[in-house]
Amino acid sequence: MSYPAIPRHKALHVAIVGAGPAGKEVIRQIIAIRRPFALVAPWNSRRMILTSGLESSPQCFNPSRWEDALAASSTPADLTLIQNALAQLVKDGKRAVLVDNTASEEIASTYPQFLNAGVHVVTPNKKAFSGEGDYYLRLIGSGGDDATVGGGVLERGRFLNEATVGAGLPIVSTLRDLVETGDKIRKIEGVFSGTMSYIFNNFSTGESGGMSFSGVVAQAKQNGYTEPNPMDDLNGADVARKLTILSRMMNPSMLALLPHGYKSVETQSLIPPELESVNDGDTFMQRLPAFDTNIAKLREEAAVEGCVLRYVGIIDVENRTVKARLEKYPKTHAFATSLGGSDNIIMFHTERYSPRPLIVQGAGAGAAVTAMGVMSDLLKLF
């Protein structure tokens, strides 16, 4: 596919923070795509490469060999140095963007400094967008805190976070388009967690009996669908964060509804109370089978009613409730018939999309699709 020519002076100078699977895939896609990207700062938790902003001469490297160059770099990781270098690029009339591929709360807390310096921020990191309400207001710039440079007002950077919900699925952008074109959101509901999707697609099929809950969780862990400690998936916090992100995009009243971010979401944890104090995943998995009976009973009750169990997130705008919990759905419902593997599925019930909702479905996790969500945001900056 050919793209319109973009002048070199509109090149995006990109700092990549986080060189895990998603970060590596973002860099691979940046190198592969024919757009004027300039990779100025690959960064991991230990070291970095910085092509500008160093007191000594800038480091030069072949972008296609960035991993070797990063491994050989003697420059310690320093986020402040990256921030200063990107801010200087903006002062010099260039365009700069921070891509944060980490899940670090510490890094997320620095976004306002980057944005106020005119640096764009693109990230799949949910922490900044689902935390305390006061910080979120700083993040979106509601205080009008544009920076001044040389006596003039510097245009604030943009933040783009498509990959925070559904990885590469167009969920954030779909909601933004609905809201900005004047549609009224009545309810959003969906299976937001790939881990929970996999677990309940296999655990609850609408039929009596089946594999134990602990057995399905162990299978999900073995197949790489859970965090190293499955408690981090089963506590529902990941779904609560995604619900917070979407809720805050709608209107001020929904923003006020969650003053403490994801902690304000009504969240059902699937961790047995007796195991909440367990500190490591291995011990948790060893003890989980002792608690299979209760959730197996819920599965049997659902099957008798012709239903399946699904762990869902629900934003009910009309009733002003946001919750993440286990719910029953008929075997004929899309949450029962359409899901496979670790798919996400999100329904938008709106004034325009009624009575049949707008549905977005597909893989909601994985390095390739997460990187695609990041790349889609980067391309919006051209």
Using alpha carbons, select from 98, 291, 307 the residue that is nearest to residue 200. Answer: 307
The enclosing H or E element of 367 equals helix 367-380
Are the CB atoms for 264 and 257 separated by under 8 Å?
yes
DSSP letter for each residue of 224-252: T-S-SSTHHHHTSHHHHHHHHHHHTTT-H
Are the CB atoms for 87 and 119 separated by under 8 Å?
yes
Residue 15, CB-side half-sphere exposure with 13 Å CA sphere: 32
Which among 24, 242, 323, 328 is annotated as catalytic?
242
Q: Does 126 participate in catalysis according to the annotation?
A: no
Whole-number Å distance between alpha carbons of 294 and 274: 13
- Cα 287 to Cα 270, 274, 278, 292, 303, distances in angstroms: 14, 10, 10, 10, 26
Using alpha carbons, select from 83, 71, 84, 81 the residue that is nearest to residue 44. Answer: 71
Strands 321-330 and 307-316: antiparallel
Catalytic residues: 242
